[in-house]
A = this chain, B = another copy of it.
């Protein structure tokens, strides 16, 4: 990214990244790409024994953290550990979808209240907790050559753009995440922290070990008709490197063939 005001000869700041959520899609792609770009990477996840993460530790030195991101105490401890192990984060990515499995496709008349509240807690409330700790630390960071003290990225979904039928809980969660991201952006951008909301308006696919394409839900196989998480990670890196004179708050990503 153009850096029109870089005026010192100091070495560039070492980026420390915390990725919250550890699936084989966006989180893995981010961990890999950010590592390859010289950043120190930590990934927080409920169950750090997931195979995707184990692999990344071996191949890329990515550090795993156990954390229930909807628990305030857990989140506080997470950030303390990341600072201790890797340093103060300059990039935090919140990748949690948060849907309780049983909630998929439930009509408003059928959705169990507990599942609805859990979906909102897992997704939007954890985004608040992660965003809050990130903001507290980043405010104290030194600005880098682009004038930024740090970047906070919220991965979001189609349901942030439109409340679909039989999907009330997820619509609530994704809209709440967008509202939070907007409020944080208006509050933190003038303090030098870049906040971004990135709704992925598509199914997300990824490449499996056997080279074929996988996807959370079965039945979609055609190559680049699903969002490629490696490409999403690329956009996140670009967002992090944007100069503060031209920050994007929201980028909706969708495949060329997606109907919208």
Contact = CB atoms under 8 A, between A and B. Distances in A.
A128 interface: yes
Interface stretch (A16-24, A86-94, A161-169): A161-169
B187 A107 contact: yes
Nearest to A254: B247
Nearest to A152: B108
B159 A132 contact: no
Contacts of A169: 128
Nearest to A247: B256
Lowest 5 CB-CB distances: which A-B pairs, in order?
A163-B182, A175-B179, A163-B183, A165-B187, A171-B179
Contacts of A179: 159-160, 163, 168, 171-176
Given A125-B120, A175-B179, A179-B176, A224 B243 contact: yes
A249 B247 contact: no
A253 B248 contact: yes
Interface string A173-189: 11111111111111111
A11 interface: no
Contact of A246 (B175, B207, B231): B231
The interface residues of chain A, by DSSP majority, are classed as helix
A252 interface: yes
14 contacts: A1-B231, A2-B230, A108-B131, A113-B132, A116-B125, A117-B125, A147-B256, A148-B256, A166-B183, A167-B183, A200-B246, A202-B246, A231-B243, A248-B253
A253 B260 contact: no
A85 interface: no
Interface stretch (A44-52, A56-64, A234-242): A234-242
Interface string A202-221: 10000100000000000000
Given A108-B184, A176-B175, A190-B257, A128 B168 contact: yes
Contact of A108 (B178, B188, B200): B188
Contacts of A148: 256
